[in-house]
Each structure stands twice: as C-alpha cells, then as structure tokens.
Amino acid sequence: METLEAYLHRKHEELNLLNRFLSTPLSLHHPASVAEVIERKFQLAAALKAEHALHDWALTETAWAYPDRLRAGPFEFSYGYQRADLDVRGPSFYQFDDAAANETIYTSSGMAAISALLLASAQMMPEADILVLPGSYSETLELIESHARHLRPMLLKSSPGEVASRARRLRVLLLDSCAPAAAFETTLRGANPRLDLIVFDTTCFSSGSGRIRRVLNWAHRWEIPIVLVRSHTKLDSLGLEYGRLGSAVFVACEAHRVHQAQLEALAREMRKAVRLFGGAALPAHFPPYVGTRAYRDLTNKRVSAILRNGRRTARYFASTLAGSSGELHFGHGLYVTLAPKRMLDERQTRQMAADLCGDLRKAGLPLRHAGSFGFDFGAAEWFHDKTRDRYLVRIAIPDLPTSIWDRVAQAVAQWWSAHEEQPFRSAGLPIGAFR
C-alpha cells in the first residue's frame, strides 16, 4: 500500500522532472494534496508546450527556416515537407533491447498507426484472415470491417494454431493489449500458430511490460514477423496526454529472410499510407522528458501503483457487485467495466457515467468523466463490449494513494447499487460522505 505521504513525494519527483525541461524552471514547493498535484502537472505541461511554440515560432509544415535539425528534448527531426518525409531520431519509448527493431514509424495517434499499417497491408496481402481476440479494441474492429476488407476477421476462441483458415490465405494475428487476461494467455500458450504476421497493439501495457517481451520471444520462437503499434498519449507521458502521438515498430525476423523482406516492404508501404492519409506525427507532440533514467523509474512506479489499485478494485467489485461486473480481469489491469442490469444505448451509458462522476466529485472524490486512462485521477466513461454488443461503464484506475482509491471504489460500488436500475436522474451522495 502506498501512503499519501509517499504518493506526494513521488509526484514531487514527477513535477521536478517536468520542471527541469523548462528553459526557465519554476519555483516548486512540495505538493500538499492530490488536487494540487494534478493542477501543477498540467500547468507545467502547458508551460513546456508554450516554450516550444515560442522557441520554434518559424516552424511550419515546410521546413523553410531551419537548415539544421529540430529538437524536442532527446528527439531530433528533419524534413522538407513534414507530412511527407518527417524523419525522427531519438530514444525508444519501449524499455527493451531494440537492437532487433528494423524501423519505427511515428504517426499522429495510435489509430493513425494501426490504420495506416492495416490499409498498407492490402498491397502485400490482397486476401488474408485476421485472427482477433475477444474484447479487442472496438474501433480497430470497426476499421477492419469498414475499410480493410481484404482482411477477413475470425474471432479466436482458442489458440491460433487450432483455427482453420481457407486454403492459400495468409494469416495475421491481431494481438490486442486490451483483451481479457484469459484470452491473451491462451494465445501465448499455443504452439505452432501458423501465422504470417503479428500486429501487436501494446497501448494498454506499460512500455516495459514483461508481456511485451513474452510476445516478442513467442514471435521469435516461431519465426513470425511482428509489428508493435501503440498510442503514446496514454501511459507514456506521465499521465499528461502531452500530445497525440502513435507509432509502429517493425521487429526483425532475421532467421527467415523471406519474412524479413516482406516486413521491410510492409514498412515502405506504411510510410506511403502515412503520407497519403496525412497521418504523420507532429514534432511538438514528442514529450521532451522521455528517455531519461528518472522518466523510466517514475513511469514504472506510476504503472505499478495503477496495477496494485486495479487488482484491489477487481477483487472488491467481484465481491460487492458480482451481478453487475462486466470484465474485471483485462490483461493490462488498467480498468474494469460494470454492466447495468438493463440494456442501455451509448447515450444512456455515457449519461450514467457522467452522473456517477458528478455525484462522486460532489462528495470530494477524484473521479472524472473522461474517455481515456492513465491519468492522475480516476475516470469513468461508456464502453462498448463488441463481443456481446452491449454498453458498459468503464472505470479507469489511477495511481492514487491506496486508501484514497479504496474510498473511491467503495463509493462507486455504493452508487452503482443504488442507481443501476433507476432512471438517470441522480439521487446524489451526501457531500463529504467519503472524505
């Protein structure tokens, strides 16, 4: 368990890290509350962005004013026309040996990365089966069904090696970090997967997660080329959503020269897709504090605290809301879902999440209505379970002190028990009831 004192000390270190990257650092004092931590961090991020804009006032889509390389912290950029030929040099966001990585292509978001990759794959594989895990990210599945029709989705109910495919069709595995833990483990335990490519969306795993290394080792064992796609606006910016940034990392398959050549060709096609779809990254969106030892250590501590709180929340909801739990054991451990007893549409579920957050905030608890995860505060929003075609409420877990988040989880359970079968007019919670 992490105490409030230990939490505030850790957050002070995060604030100092951000402050060191300002040309004129601010005078910081030790934060005294969770609210002060959140506000000060976003203020420092805004100052970093403003300083970047003032320093690079002549920066445009066409590099007319910079004969030398541009910089953002450890990252260096060069281009003639940014949308078409942006070149990025800098540290990897991943915390593993990247000696085997052929190439990294940065994009304007995680969805831009996976969209460009899957659409570019049509040039390499006019027809292919794409094996997807239950619970995979709904927008990725929507993309495949609507725009990547050369890929035929096949829902995995067992390991890939046990799924039959049509003759002469290539096989792609979409391995999504937001899948339930059981489905993820079943996939990695499978032998002889008979795959031509793995697309691994790592967004919900910490950049140093052992699961990422396990997947890379699994792909290496079976000599399967693999591309890691990721949104960096979630876990990779100390909870700030510093800027919209994504990437695709192509990992070498040196033991199989044919696969290696195909992977290199796929990277070339993806670069074309990024250029044609306008999905290139923006230099201003690269967090300047990435790559330092302090950044690695603080990121690891943040994610560890989120995972500890997530495990406690899953156990608590399993015991108190057994009839209302959706999925409590995602492989990443960053959020859980709750299922209303009545069927709701997207609008109704969004309103339910807003009511929940509004009532808890009136009671002085740090839960906000926000559609992402990895913040310094808890967040709730609607969630579409595409496998069962139902709408749930997602509770994203923060790295708050254990005792504070326990009180939030208790308040969520109390609110849920009182409201899940009622109309959407909130009865409210007594102000200060859980302080």
Q: 190 or 149: which carries more pLDDT confidence?
A: 149
| Residue whose token pair is 């379970």 | 385
Question: Of the ranges 88-92, 154-158, 200-204, 399-403, which one carries the lowest mean pLDDT score?
Answer: 154-158
Between CA 217 and CA 346, with CA 134 as vertex, the angle to 5 degrees is 135
% of the chain beyond a pLDDT of 90:
72
Element (H, E) at 382: strand 378-385
- Residue 434: the pLDDT is 38
Query: Mean pLDDT throughout 228-240?
Result: 95
Is the pLDDT higher at 169 or at 168?
169
- Residues 65-122: tens digit of each pLDDT: 766 678 899 999 999 999 999 999 999 999 876 556 678 999 999 999 999 999 999 9
Q: What angle (nearest 5°) sits at the alpha carbon of residue 119, between those of residues 114 and 123?
A: 135
* Beta bridge partner(s), residue 76: 71, 89
pLDDT of the residue at 66: 67
Highest mean pLDDT among 252-256, 345-349, 417-421: 345-349
User: What percent of the chain is modeled with pLDDT above 70?
Assistant: 92
- Please state the rounded mean pLDDT for residues 260-274: 93
Residue matched to tokens 């402050």: 19
Mean of the pLDDT values across residues 155-177? 82
Identify the pLDDT of residue 428: 43
Residue whose token pair is 């996939």:
187
Cα distance between residue 398 and residue 305, in whole Å: 8
Q: Can you give the pLDDT at residue 400?
A: 97
Query: Which segment of 151-155, 392-396, 424-428 scores lowest on mean pLDDT?
Result: 424-428
Does the pLDDT of residue 305 top 50, yes or no? yes
Does the structure show a pLDDT above 50 at 213? yes
Tell me the CA distances in angstroms from 417 to 44, 325, 354, 421, 422, one per residue in order: 39, 11, 16, 8, 10
Residue 72, classed as helix, strand or coil, is strand
**pLDDT value for 427:** 39
Its pTM stands at: 0.91
Residue ranges of domains in the chain, CATH in brackets: 4-55 (no CATH), 70-285 (3.40.640.10), 295-419 (3.90.1150)
The confidence score (pLDDT) of residue 165 equals 64
Neighbours of 160 (CB within 10 A): 26
Q: What are phi and psi of 247, to 5 degrees?
A: -155, 160
- The closest alpha carbon to 11, from 45, 42, 34, belongs to 34
